[in-house]
Structure 1
Amino acid sequence: MNQHLLSAAQIIQEGGVVAYPTESVYGLGCDPFNRNAVMQLLAIKHRPVSKGLILIGESLAQLAPYLHLNEQQSAQLEKKWPAPITYLVDASDRLPAWVRGEHRKVAVRVPDHPLARQLCQLAGQPIISTSANISGRPAARNRYQVARQLGNQLDFIVSGACDRAAKPSTIIDLESGRILRP
């Protein structure tokens, strides 16, 4: 087991904010059910709560309790994930409003990056995922860029590589099939 990831997962469980590699950029993550942790993450990014955040999980099974999905939608997600595809899905009442922002849907993904999935597994729950940057600035693509831009505000930075050629995840509304970000 990766001790580095285990430390990051423990920090998430304790209410901290960590940075970790995803398919295309470094992400910031925390416990989505810990309001203080989410507010800290939003403050670090200078991002309003109204915009909402992405929730990632190790599997659809880990995300499903927080979503309203029918069998067809579940089957569709099972076929597509893991992948750098984020879906907007109706959120269940179990998901805090500070994760959804002013939306009835939540953005969810099972990432195609093993470290991001393992982090969710070790944390024992889905985690927040948003690009590691101050809103409006370029997202960090390695741990050094994270440290330079946000370092002293974070509780931990996971070492790992992002795919340099990859672009941010595609965002699709699951219900309508509309592509919001190619």
Structure 2
Amino acid sequence: MLVQPQKWRVNLFARQLFEGAVIAYPTEGVWGLGCLPGLEEPVTRILRLKRRSWKKGLILVASRIEQILPYSDELTAEELAVLKIEWPGSVTYLLPRSKNVPDLIAGDSDRVAVRVSKHAVVKAICDELGGPMVSTSANPTGKIPAGSKLRLKQYFPSGIDAIFPGELGTLKGASEIRDLRTGEVIRAAAL
């Protein structure tokens, strides 16, 4: 059973994020690494920790659909309707990228990956931030995502400023990624 995160802890982590922290936190299926998307240093640090090329891009997670709209170019009424049906949930969508999205977030794509999460920890942090945060699975490139706090600490004995306590959701792995415009499944959900 997922427990609502304590308000004081959410406030503390939000403050750390505003100060440039890289945090680890539970998501729907795996541990995630996060920071504020507009701060270049922590985004670069996450890419270094994962040994990931900036060209691949990162995901933004939010607590409400309104938080991700500034990061996407105009969406049609039909596209917004799809998102409102799917979210909050565990599906990440590729949306047309707006000029507000740094290259370190979108990579070399004209799309940006976003998800409105239903996970209590992610929702609470993004509510406190008043916007989205970076989300990427907690694993070095080529390794399976951390499904436990022990694996998280084995992968990253240093480099993470704080770990938000909590439980993973019911997903058995990383979230599914779909292109909103084409419907193409880029990464299937773990079953």
Question: What TM-score do you get using the length of structure 2 for normalisation?
Answer: 0.90
In structure 2, the partner of 1:53 is: 58
> How far apart are residue 74 of structure 1 and its match?
1.2
In structure 2, the partner of 1:12 is: 17
Q: Distance in 2 between matches of 1:51 and 1:35?
A: 16
3-state SS of paired residue (1:38): helix
Question: What TM-score do you get using the length of structure 1 for normalisation?
Answer: 0.95
Residues 47 and 135, structure 1, Cα contact 8 Å, conserved in 2: yes
Runs (4+) off by over 3 Å? none
> How far apart are residue 3 of structure 1 and its match?
2.1
> How far apart are residue 32 of structure 1 and its match?
0.6
Q: Distance in 1 between matches of 2:110 and 2:171?
A: 33
Residues 87 and 173, structure 1, Cα contact 8 Å, conserved in 2: yes
> How far apart are residue 114 of structure 1 and its match?
1.1
Alignment pair present for 1:105 and 2:111: yes
Residues 143 and 158, structure 1, Cα contact 8 Å, conserved in 2: no
**15-24 or 160-169, larger mean C-alpha shift:** 160-169
Alignment pair present for 1:80 and 2:86: yes
Q: Distance in 1 between matches of 2:46 and 2:158?
A: 13
Of 152, 157, 163, the residue aligned with 1:151 is 157
**47-56 or 140-149, larger mean C-alpha shift:** 140-149
In structure 2, the partner of 1:124 is: 130
3-state SS of paired residue (1:102): coil
Gapped regions of structure 1 (runs ≥ 5): none
Q: Distance in 2 between matches of 1:166 and 1:66?
A: 28
1:66-103 Cα distance to aligned partner (Å, 9 max, x none): 11212221121011101110101001101111100000
In structure 1, the partner of 2:3 is: none
3-state SS of paired residue (2:157): helix
Residues 81 and 110, structure 1, Cα contact 8 Å, conserved in 2: yes
In structure 1, the partner of 2:70 is: 65
Q: Distance in 2 between matches of 1:38 and 1:142?
A: 23
- Percent of pairs with identical residues: 35
